[in-house]
Amino acid sequence: MHELSIAQNILSMVNSRVEKEGIQLEATAVTVMIGEFRNVDPESLEFAFDAMKPSFEFCRNCLLKIISVKAEGICTKSMHSFHPEKQNGFSCPICNSAIKEFKSGEELDIVRIIISTIDQGRLECTK
Amino acid sequence: MHEVVDEHILQRIMGNNEDAAEHNREHFDENGNVAINFMSAPGAGKTTLLEACIQKLKAKFKIAVIEGDMVGTLDADRLAGTGAPVHQISTGRACHLDASMVGRLLHQELFDKYQVLFIENVGNLVCPAEFPLGEHFRVVLLSASEGDDKPLKYPVIFKNCNAVVFTKCDLLPHVNFDLEKAAEAVKNLNPEASIFSISVKTGEGLSQFLQWLSAQILAKQKHALHNKAIAAEGGFNVYFDASESNICRRQ
Ligand SMILES: Nc1nc2c(ncn2[C@@H]2O[C@H](COP(=O)(O)OP(=O)(O)O)[C@@H](O)[C@H]2O)c(=O)[nH]1
Ligand SMILES: [Mg+2]
Ligand SMILES: [Zn+2]
Ligand SMILES: [Zn+2]
């Protein structure tokens, strides 16, 4: 459900970025990184993004690209690097110890925005 | 079509909530309040536990409550029965509290001076994990009548909290809930978390949890006093700089 507010955040950040850049411009793509240990469902996010983008002036033709980032944990006992798996109860598969920290898997960031000049042809079409 | 900007940036998507949470935290710290966010699936026993905590701790601390609910004031009414001031945030369609909702309430200054703020979040194990409110501590409840695999299914919320409370433990003989298994997953995800098994119905384990809660509150208060003393001596602790603290009141 909160994918709606996440989509809204992305769109308004992109929208104000375009606004800052100048006139006759629009965003054509935004790339986001979503870690495995964030509660974001990519499909719901895409759905919400497409549903909301018409109401953001400079994002109407913006594509959302999602990079899913696999989690990598470091274990408490031996600093092993591993992928936390449900079937191990998220423990380290080598020494069975807990996760001390995540090296990756908690991202929720915009990493790339592409801004282009508005396609005149398309602009006329819509008039 | 002509690409004019192809920018590689790093912008936190939840930055607006994080900023609002930080602002709430400044309010809490400025006033010496300790805020605790209680989260769980619907019906895990948040309201029941809060009622018990307020009854047991109200002689020790001045307690206020923010009750987050999608609709209705049932839980807020129950909590008001303890004598503590309660303010409800009706989230409508949103299935979680966010930091700006809490901030709006703080700015209305509805509460008299209080020391401890209990926040009951909307019943949900997913969204509240993504919306910190500026609280000092997070407590996640999991009841014996739910599955013991919840920490495996919803790891994010169990990873990002200070304590996990297994509730309704009086039901353990009647249900298929493996306490060890649930605790194991929590410990693997979050080795620092304190873990409690309680039943508010029988009172089992409640005193251990209350002890932990009091200790956290007292430690935070002591820390705040310490900061205040530094500020009074002309130290550079911005939180307690009077001119700084007036900024948002004027808004
Ligand atoms: N058996 C048992 N039931 C409990 C316990 N704590 C709460 N409940 C019941 O669980 C239901 C939901 O509790 P509530 O506090 O409203 O849950 P919330 O939705 O998380 O606020 C209520 O019917 C409570 O009476 C307990 O320790 N043991
Ligand atoms: Mg409740
Ligand atoms: Zn290891
Ligand atoms: Zn403020």
Confirm or reject: Cβ of B170 under 6 Å from ligand 1.
yes
* Cα B100 to ligand 4 centroid, rounded to whole Å: 10
B34-39 and B137-143 as β-strands: parallel, antiparallel, unpaired?
parallel
Domains along chain A? 3-69+105-126 (3.30.2320.50), 71-104 (no CATH)
- CA–CA gap between residue B57 and residue B55 (Å, rounded): 6
CB contact under 8 A, B5 and A21: yes
Question: Using CB atoms, which residue from B13, B15, B159 is nearest to A37?
Answer: B159
Angle between helices B99-108 and B15-30 (to 10 degrees): 30
Query: Chain A closest CA to B224's CA: distance in Å?
Result: 28
| More confident call, A36 vs B235 | A36
- CA–CA gap between residue B193 and residue B247 (Å, rounded): 36
- CA–CA gap between residue B196 and residue B164 (Å, rounded): 6
**What backbone phi and psi angles, to 5 degrees, belong to B84?**
-75, 145
* Cα B213 to ligand 2 centroid, rounded to whole Å: 19
Q: In sequence order, which residues have a C-beta less than 8 Å from that of residue A78 and are 6 or more positions away? A: A92, A94, A95, A97
CB contact under 8 A, B4 and A1: no
* CB B122 within 8 Å of CB A5: no
- The reported pLDDT for the residue numbered B1 is 62
* pLDDT bracket for residue B227 (50, 70, 90): confident
CB contact under 8 A, A115 and B11: no
Looking at the predicted structure, is the pLDDT value of residue B243 above 90?
no
A108-117 and A25-35 as β-strands: parallel, antiparallel, unpaired?
antiparallel
- The reported pLDDT for the residue numbered B2 is 77
* pLDDT bracket for residue B247 (50, 70, 90): very low
- The reported pLDDT for the residue numbered B234 is 66
Alpha carbon B170 to chain centroid, angstroms: 25
Confirm or reject: Cβ of B46 under 6 Å from ligand 1.
yes
Looking at the predicted structure, is the pLDDT value of residue A93 above 60?
yes
Atom of ligand 1 nearest to the CA of B48: 15
Looking at the predicted structure, is the pLDDT value of residue B192 above 70?
yes
ipTM: 0.90
Q: Which residue lies with its CA nearest to atom 4 of ligand 1?
A: B168
pLDDT per residue over B68-118, tens digit each? 998 888 999 999 999 999 999 999 888 999 999 999 999 998 887 899 999
Looking at the predicted structure, is the pLDDT value of residue B128 above 90?
yes
Ramachandran assignment for B32, one of left (phi > 0), alpha (psi -120 to 50 degrees), beta (any other): left
Q: Under DSSP, is residue B181 helix (H, G, I), strand (E, B) or coil?
A: helix
Q: What is the mean pLDDT of chain A?
A: 93
Q: Give the nearest chain A residue to B16 (CA atoms).
A: A9
CB contact under 8 A, A39 and B126: yes
Token pair for B103? 């901030």
* Cα B104 to ligand 4 centroid, rounded to whole Å: 8
CA atoms within 13 A on the CB side of B3: 8
Q: Under DSSP, is residue B129 helix (H, G, I), strand (E, B) or coil?
A: helix
Share of chain A above pLDDT 70, in %: 93
- The reported pLDDT for the residue numbered B228 is 76
B137-143 and B163-167 as β-strands: parallel, antiparallel, unpaired?
parallel
Q: Give the nearest chain B residue to A75 (CA atoms).
A: B188
* pLDDT bracket for residue B162 (50, 70, 90): very high
For residue B140, give the nearest of B86, B75, B189 by alpha carbon.
B189
CB contact under 8 A, B1 and A13: no
Longest CA–CA span in chain A (Å) reads: 65
Please spell the DSSP secondary structure of chain A, one letter per residue.
Answer: -THHHHHHHHHHHHHHHHHHH-SSEEEEEEEEEEETTS---HHHHHHHHHHHGGGSTT-TTPEEEEEEE--EEEETTT--EE---GGGTT--TTT---EEEEEES--EEEEEEEEEE--HHHHHHT-
